[in-house]
Amino acid sequence: MLCDNCGKKQATVHLTEIIDEQMTELHLCEDCARQKSAQMEQQFGLGDLLAGLTDLGKPGSKKEAEAIEVKCPNCGLTFEDFRKIGRLGCSECYITFKKYLVPLLKRIHGSTQHIGKSPVRVGKGLKKKIDLQELRNSLQKAIETEAFEEAARLRDQIKELEKKQNESK
């Protein structure tokens, strides 16, 4: 199948556009797909998408003014720069912008904790560690709310999991 745009090269990218409830399929070569991608990014920049997802999009809000001034001490990236380009500059940015990233990640992913697949070779051990940490957090909450029967049940579960981990090592 030839490219719908240039009609010269083999179409390797297949896009489905939905505009005003009208679906259009495009079959493009790599060059035309790159051009289309650049056009789409200009129209709908990643920064605009991120700005729409954050709570900082309300002009003049105190939180927005505060975020604009935040700057990574390691790479010098500002939060405003992150919103424009959609990428963080270094690993230190995650710590610097944590206050603003957590709500964004929660809105995009539905959670701030990884819930999903892990590599098979590390998945089982990682899953057990996460389960154990969740049980410990639940135990702490049960103690704080003085739900001692629940706390005792959680304590026993934690001991059982720790015992199994020690035996497997």
Contact status, residue 10 vs residue 29, Cβ threshold 8 Å: yes
> pTM for this one?
0.42
CA distance 70 to 86: 16
pLDDT value at 156 more than 60: yes
Percentage with pLDDT > 70 across the chain:
75
HEC secondary structure over 107-133: HHHCCCCCCCCCCHHHHHHHHHHHHHH
| Residue scoring higher pLDDT (159 or 167) | 159
> Mean pLDDT of all residues in the chain?
79
Per-residue confidence (pLDDT) for residue 105, from 0 to 100: 79
Whose CA is closest to 161, among 139, 131, 137, 141? 131
**Six-digit token string for 93:** 């940015």
Per-residue confidence (pLDDT) for residue 152, from 0 to 100: 94
**Phi and psi torsions of 10, nearest 5°:** -70, 130
Per-residue confidence (pLDDT) for residue 74, from 0 to 100: 93
Is the alpha carbon torsion for 51, 54, 58, 60 positive or negative?
negative
Per-residue confidence (pLDDT) for residue 57, from 0 to 100: 46
| Residue scoring higher pLDDT (71 or 120) | 71
